[in-house]
Structure 1
Amino acid sequence: MKLLFKISTLLLIIILCNFFNLIYGFPGSYSGCSSISYSQNELDTIPASFDVRTNWGDCMSPVREQQSCGSCWAQVTSGILADRMCIESDKNIKMLLSPQYLMDCDGSCVSDGVSGCNNGCKGGFVGLALTRLINEGIVSDECLSYQASKDSSCPTTCDDGSPISNTTIYKATSCRAFPTVQDAQYEIMTNGPVIATFMLYSDFKPHKWDVYIKSSNTQVESHAVRVVGWGTTSDGVDYWIAANSWGTGWGDKGYFKIRRGSDEAAFEEGFITVTADTASVPTSQYGLEYQFGGNSSTFLKPSFLILLTLIVLYFLLVPIILS
């Protein structure tokens, strides 16, 4: 009986490890973007606080729910292009883009200092995904809705059966990286959100903090989010504001704050973004509102419910079996 208990405990640990690996994935550290520097005169205009939601509130694409799938790399890159298209078109283009399309179609790889490939729910590199947005583009979420799983091949039809070759392809024009935090701030305040990749630690739990300050040394996985602004608390703590992809029930309606100026959890090491190709978007799509093609934000994911049920059953049944 003791051997059975040890084996079942080991299996539970393996399930948990694989589950959390699927949630977080790896956004990677590869960039491949051109470095953008602003003049000192421009940097001197950076305010003490800024929030994209205040300046371009209508343009922030909705917080997504990646579910039990390590697709943050696809969520954040599709989201950043949608945000930028809206801002650069003076709020005329509001098109939710398809992370599923990137997951199914982008298997590009890198071996420049780091190595790996974009691989659906198993993670990917935001720099590679942004490059694909420039070279190949992406379809709307209405065409290909999020499934939280990777198809075996790149689809040729939308969810409704219409050919993808007949639908609008949305593209980026350039990929930008920033040598300093100040350059990234100026980019945010003038052109819109940027992407941050950082390391998740075991204490990354929003109900325990207002501004996240790392207190654990236990790494979970790397992650990617959209950075939308910054500010300072009443007691003098500088912070960044970021949009996560874990649903609107997480954090502050899907957003969170993390300490600024200390490179918290490597948050300040790799800000990148894209500029949008708005000229190729048909004017017939102007004036629309963001619209999900399928799965939208939820709080307690079905996968979490399944996992929670397994854990409860484990601790209820094992003692009975062993007694």
Structure 2
Amino acid sequence: MFLPFCTFFWILTGVSATFHPLSDEFIAQINENQTHWTAGRNFKISEWARVIQMASGVRFHHRLPRPSLLRTNKEIPEHFDSREKWPHCASLFRIWDQSHCGSCWAVSAAATMSDRICIHSSQNLQISVSAEDLLSCCHQCGTGCLGGEIPRAWHYWRTTGIVTGGLYNSTAQGCRAYSLPPCEHHVPIQRRPHCDTLKLETPSCKLECDDSQLNYEDSLTFGGEVRHFVQPEEIQREIMENGPVEGAIEVYEDFFSYKSGVYKRTSSGTYIGGHAVKILGWGVENGVPYWLCANSWNKDWGDGGYFKIVRGENHCAVEEEVYASVPEFAQENRDDLRWI
């Protein structure tokens, strides 16, 4: 049985032998044991069972074959941020809230697809790909809020297509908006309803738009050949050329308390599961190379919704499950963009 929410596999092996993973003592222990990153309180101890579920939505098996990749000799800079190269793509600056659902695999895919549509339209098409449509209708991807597989999400974009649609209650952004409301994952509780008050249920697959005046078929977007990137240099060149990619990390209990700096698992951390994220850049901080990633636990978590993780050593499997494709338009000259 797979736990709901977002992180891969499904078994918790235990917690710290000394302190609870969400306790002030455990957070202090993290900060005492290393200097690369700073931990702080993001969750209450009483939320532990739900937090585990929230980080258990990616399955790391049944990968698609890896096609051959085009290689370039473009020099790789020390620092790169997709938001700086393509500043007019609004989706690049958006942090999602996956709500109480284990939909990280779908949310991070849709966010990355949206970025790539804008990038490959010369920053003209501000289209959001519907995480709702992918989450609810891609049955071969997994089991909705109980987890899914990243490569199958991208393959679904290529073979079936995914309609437009943005964040919760954003009907103006496309065909099917995300129907699960933002909820409070963090402390102190404010602004949003608490996640525990919401019913965990995958939305139904509906081949129709929220607005009856929009046509579902006309709202479909498509991607091209699915690519799997393994080497750090491949991932970097792909981001430089085509935009952010979707990846996944193995989550350990110390990750929930991340606030800033370059995350590296502490020796006291216990493995929890697998979580999908968007990788949008890289850099070096205090001599430590890192990947810049966008999470989907709203802006209250981490560094405004973002985090950095050690680059170049497949830390927490961050370089193992990286996929993306390029959007497919009907006309290569992009003068009159239409989907195939």
TM-score by length of 2: 0.70
Tell me how large the CA RMSD over aligned residues is. 2.4
Structure 2: any 5+ residue segments left out of the alignment? 1-45, 166-173, 181-200
Query: Counterpart in 2 of 1:184?
Result: 235
- Secondary structure of the equivalent of 1:228? strand
CA distance in 1, matches of 2:256, 2:48: 18
CA contact (8 A) 1:202 1:219 kept: yes
- The 5-angstrom pairing of residues 88-107 of structure 1 reads 88-107=120-139
Letter in 2 for 1:218: T
Q: Residue 200 of structure 1 aligns with which residue? A: 251
After superposition, what is the alpha-carbon deviation per residue over 1:151-210, rounded to whole angstroms, capped at 9, x for unaligned? 34x203212234644532111011111241111111111111111111111111455541
Offset of residue 77 of structure 1: 1.1
**Which residue of structure 2 aligns with residue 155 of structure 1?**
206
- Counterpart of 2:51 (choices 20, 29, 34) is 20
Matching of residues 204-219 of structure 1 within 5 Å: 204-205=255-256, 207-215=258-266, 216-219=268-271
Shift of 1:25: 3.0
Instruction: Give the count of matched residue pairs.
Output: 259
Alpha-carbon distance in 2 for matches of 1:72, 1:164: 27
Name the CA distance, whole Å, in 1 between partners of 2:236 and 2:56: 27
The 1:250–1:33 alpha-carbon spacing in structure 2 relative to 1, beyond 3 Å, is: farther
* Structure 2 CA distance for partners of 1:179 and 1:256, relative to 1, 3 Å: closer
1:71, CA displacement in angstroms?
0.1
1:70 paired with 2:99, answer no
d(CA) in 2 for partners of 1:162, 1:21: 40
CA shift in 2, pair 1:207/1:173, >3 Å: closer
8 Å Cα contact 2:145/2:202 also seen in 1: yes
Contact preservation (8 Å) 2:224, 2:326: yes
Matched AA of 2:263:
Y
Q: Deviations over 1:2-45 (max 9, x none)?
A: xxxxxxxxxxxxx9565235422322224315344454x616x1
Q: 2:287 is matched with which residue?
A: 236
Secondary structure at the residue paired with 1:231? strand
2:148 to 124, 134, 154: 124
CA–CA distance in 2 between the matches of 1:229 and 1:169? 28
Matching of residue 136 in structure 1 with residue 160 in structure 2: yes
Q: Given that residues 73 and 126 in structure 1 are in contact (C-alpha distance below 8 angstroms), is that contact kept between their aligned partners in structure 2? A: yes
- State whether structure 2 residue 254 is matched by structure 1 residue 224: no
Amino acid paired to 2:281? G
Q: CA deviation at 1:144?
A: 1.2
Contact 2:106 2:131 in 1 (8 A): yes
Cα distance, 1:94 vs structure 2: 1.0
In structure 1, stretches of 5+ residues that fail to align are 1-14, 109-116, 286-323
Percent identity, please. 33
Residue 42 of structure 1: aligned partner? 73
Residue matched to 1:56: 86
Distance 1:223 1:157, change over 3 A: same
What TM-score do the two structures reach when normalised by structure 1? Answer: 0.73
Structure 2: distance between partners of 1:156 and 1:177: 29
Structure number with greater Rg is 1
Structure 2 counterpart of 1:96, which letter? S
Distance (whole Å) between structure 2 residues aligned to residue 120 and residue 248 of structure 1: 23
